[in-house]
Amino acid sequence: MSEKTKMVKVYIMGEAFMVPAASTIIMAIEYAGFQLKRGIGCREGFCGACATVYREKGDYKLKGGLGCQTVVSDEMYIAQIPFVPAEKPLYDLNELTPDPSTFMKLFPSIYRCVACNTCTKSCPQDIQVMDYIQALIRGDIKQAAELSFDCIRCGLCALRCPAEIVQYNAGTLARRLYGKYLSPKSPELEDRLQEVNDGIYDQEIDEMMTMDIKDLTKKYFAREIKIT
């Protein structure tokens, strides 16, 4: 490490450590000597595994973020939340209907929403969480599915919600219902899936499975792409 590397003090689970100033929270935790077995996933992607709550010096706010994205600051207090306890109802999608009654039965907690927007403020993906919960309350499953599309289920919204709603589970159901019952169907996709089920491509797939990686790469880039 360069002698000019700037170091800052951070508190990890209450214990002070000196870490490089440019570190992400995950890098800082590992630099401090911790071996991460939980609360870590894709590293610099968006998998939601490294949900973290922290406070910065001089700021009264308790903030949330992804440990792989958030850079440490001097005197930062850090605690990882590798799992947020949340009840997850079991259901068979084939037995559900895409209407408000489904959410009244499986997620009655959404009707406790007080529209405080704390869930949105805590989302590291900048998803309009409160808006998709309000859409579900209105029965607009399509809008809820679209607004929650980028959710990575880190749980920070549910952790901060004063009404104790499990927003991300409700959003997941909205996307499932929309995909199965409400989204426009593609006749071409249905035809192609039927062809796959009929085994039309089995021989070609078997050949590609045994191809050399260079030949497979060449075949991929030489493929015909139809734009309609």
- Smallest CA-to-CA distance from 130 within 140, 143, 116 is with 116
Provide the residue-wise pLDDT of the chain in tens; the chain has 228 residues: 555 789 999 999 999 999 999 999 999 999 999 988 887 888 777 788 999 999 999 999 999 999 999 999 999 999 998 888 888 899 999 999 999 999 999 999 999 999 999 999 999 999 999 999 999 999 999 999 999 999 999 999 999 999 999 999 999 999 999 999 999 988 898 899 999 999 999 999 999 999 999 999 999 999 888 776
Task: For the beta carbon of residue 112, count every other beta carbon within 10 angstroms.
Answer: 12
Every domain of the chain and the residues it spans: 7-80, 93-182, 197-221
Task: For the beta carbon of residue 137, count every other beta carbon within 10 angstroms.
Answer: 16
> Encoding tokens for residue 86?
């949340």
What Rg value do the Cα atoms of the chain yield, rounded? 23
Domain spanning 7-80 has what CATH number? Answer: 3.10.20.740
The pTM assigned to this predicted structure is: 0.80
